[in-house]
Each structure stands twice: as C-alpha cells, then as structure tokens.
Amino acid sequence: MDLFVISFSLLTCLAAFLLSTVWVGISLFLVGLVGFVLFTGSPPLAILSNITWNSTSGSTMLALPLFVLMGEILFRSKISENLFNGLSPWMDHLPGRLVHVNIVACTLFAAVSGSSAATTATVGKITLPELLKRKYDRSLVLGSLAGAGTLGFLIPPSMMMLVYGILADVSIGKLFIAGVLPGLILATWFSGFVFFRCLLNPKLAPASDLTYTWSDRWNTIPQLLPVISLIVMVLGSIYLGWATPTEAAAVGVLGSVFFAWITRSLDRTVLKEALMGSVKTSCMIMWIICGASFLSVAVGYLGIPTTLTAFISTLGLSKYMLIVILSIMYIILGCLIDGFSMIVMSLPIALPLIKAAGFDPIWFGIYLVVMIEVAQITPPVGFNLFVINGLVHDDLFTIAKYAFPSFVIMMAFTALITIYPDIVLMIPRLMIK
C-alpha cells in the first residue's frame, strides 16, 4: 500500500482519537497498534512489552519523577514566598519596578522546578495579588508572568529536555548545559521589554510608598539563599561532573526537603500532597512516553520517516526554510496539544530532517523547547493561560492577548538561535573541551 495512504490513515486515526477526548497516551498506543496490525506482519504485543520496559527502566528516566517531586515540594513551601520578599527591594528602583520580580523569580524558580506550569503557578500566586493591589498595569503583569513562566522548560533542569534526551538519544547533561545561556538571554529580553515599555509610560508600574535602602537589600539575601543553594547543588553538580542528572535530582529532592523543613513549611499534609502530585504527573508523562515510543517504532517499521526525509530533501529547501516550515507546524500543534505530545509525535519525522539539514541534535532540542514554550501561551491549549486563569479568572483569550508580546519575543529568539547556533552550542563545546 502507498505510504501516503498509510500515513494519512494513521494521522486520521490519531486525530479521531484525540478529538474524541481519548487520553493522549492511549491514543498513541492505539494508533501504533493499528499501524502494526493493519500494515505490518510484526507481533505488536511482543514489541510493546520490550518498548515499555526499555522506555521506563533506564536510570535516566528515574530523574524525571525526582525533579517533579522537587518542584512539588518547593511549590507547597514558603521558599517561593521568601523569594518574592527577597527580590522586591532589588527591583523597586528599575523602570517596571516589581514586574521584574515576575521575570527574575520565574528564572530562579525555573532552575529548580523543571516545569513551566509549576513555575507560573508558584510565582503567580505570590506576585499577582501584590502587583494588582498596587495598581500595576494588568496586561503587563499577566503578560510578563505568562511569558516568563515558560522559562521552566528552557532553564535546566527541564522535564522537556529529559523527555527529548531520552527519545532522541541525546546527552541530557549536554542539553542542560546548552539551555543555560539561551534561558538567561530570553529572560533578559523579557525584562528588557518591560524596562523600555515602562520607560515610555511610567504609569504602567506606579511607585509605592515604600523606600528601600542598601541595608534593606542586603538584609533580604538570606531569603534568596535556599533557591540559590538548590541551583548550585543541582546544576553545579552536573556541570562539574560530580553527579549525573539522576543523582543531581536526588540531591535536589533532599535539598528541597531540608529547606522546606527549616522554613517550617513541611508537614505531613504538605509531604503527602507533594508525593501524590509527583506520582500523578510522573505517571502521565511516562504513559505518554511509552505510547509515543510504540508509535515511533510502528512508524519506523513502515518506513515513513525515511521516505518523508528523502522526499523533503528532493525539494531543495534551504535549512532556514526547513526551520520556518517546522516553526509553523509547531505553532499549529501548540494550539492543539501539550508539549510532551509535541515532542513525541513530531520527533520521528522532524529529527531525521534536522540531521539531514546539518543541524546539531543538541541545538534542535533547545529550539524545540522554545517552540514548546510558545505553545504554553497560545490558546486554546496553552497551559500557562489556564494556570493564570485559575489565579485571576480572566478570560483565556484576554490573557493570550496580554502574552502576545512574549510570543513575538520568543519567535524572534528562535530566529536568533537559528542564525547564530553557537548561542546554544558554545557552552557545551567549551565544557567538552
């Protein structure tokens, strides 16, 4: 049977399952099963058992629930509240004032949580009531949080990087290293937008009656130390070669428990909620990964990636035009499905094309994470929009309108790293040397 017909049939099945509200993981399993049963003579159940074991038994996969648990503990402790109190005196004199706390707090929390939704929810529940009470411009406050909250996926440790590294067979340590500089640059762009917008219109961020001295600023440093210490413990141990990502995740969990305990925000209820939340999130992610791996093998058996790669290579597209096409595809996908599904559904097709065009898989991992960040703020399935909606109850499309400047900034950033890939690859190459 013609591969075009087979591909169209599988896509139709996948769309039908997803539109009928079947869970993503189950949809992937079912489409893979259809591919094996109807179009190959291979035994699907034997392949499924091997794939399920191989996808979940590796030591790398153990890092995933550990990073999720660390983020859950931080989300429910006083560490996030102390982070806001510690940053406020340092930001109050800048154009944009405490709006920058949204961005800096998201940047710091992203470096210990690994999740965009957790970063947005944790920072938002602390900053939004305070900023809106002080009559800061609503669109600026909500838009900056929506954009900066996505840094939870780009600044390591990142659950998206873990999933990509596992499926693409790429070093997770190198991915983590590669994400640092792009994450910091993107955070700087977010702050720069707030800075210049408030420079032109200071009324967007009105001055408060409080004044801070340098003594006040230095006195807040202890409130920032738990988050800074966790960043050093987790990322420092990876970059210095002292620990694997899995071992660093275990260190991060112990550190988050310790700091939650000394801030007197860890009790039996908090620990139970954190454990249950991490189990639910981890099971959901692993279920999707197993389903995606099964579908990827089915697609590989059918020869679809090889055929599609060969076809696109005959079109004579430049590598930059390929990125433009992929970006359009990911923007559309991001409006319909979540980030994990974006990775697992597109990788079997996109990764061979990227390699054939001469792009580094490490670079593509960072590019893909940025596109998933974009998906976090595009309706109707933008997770950050739902998180902020739950905090302030504004309409989803209104929040998306507020986040549009962040969308433009992130798309401009993808163009920058495509033209200058060394922004992503420079630090990993230096670390390797």
Residue 433: which pLDDT band, with cuts at 50, 70 and 90? low
pLDDT at 142: 94
Amino acid in position 11: L
What percentage of the chain exceeds 70 in pLDDT? 92
| Domain locations along the chain | 56-432
Distances (CA, A) of 410 to 185, 253, 338, 400: 11, 31, 18, 14
Q: List % helix, strand, coil for the chain (3-state, nearest 5).
A: 80, 0, 20
Asked whether the whole model's pTM tops 0.85, one would answer: no
pLDDT digits (tens, 9 = 90+) for 372-385: 999 889 886 677 88
pLDDT at 380: 67
Nearest alpha carbon to residue 119 among 129, 127, 109, 108: 109
pLDDT at 31: 84
pLDDT digits (tens, 9 = 90+) for 353-374: 898 888 999 999 999 999 999 9
What one-character DSSP code corresponds to residue 204? G
Is the pLDDT confidence value at 411 over 90?
Answer: yes
Amino acid in position 206: P
* Spatial distance between the Cα atoms of 121 and 75, rounded to a whole number of angstroms: 8
159 or 423, greater pLDDT = 423
Is the pLDDT confidence value at 312 over 90?
Answer: no
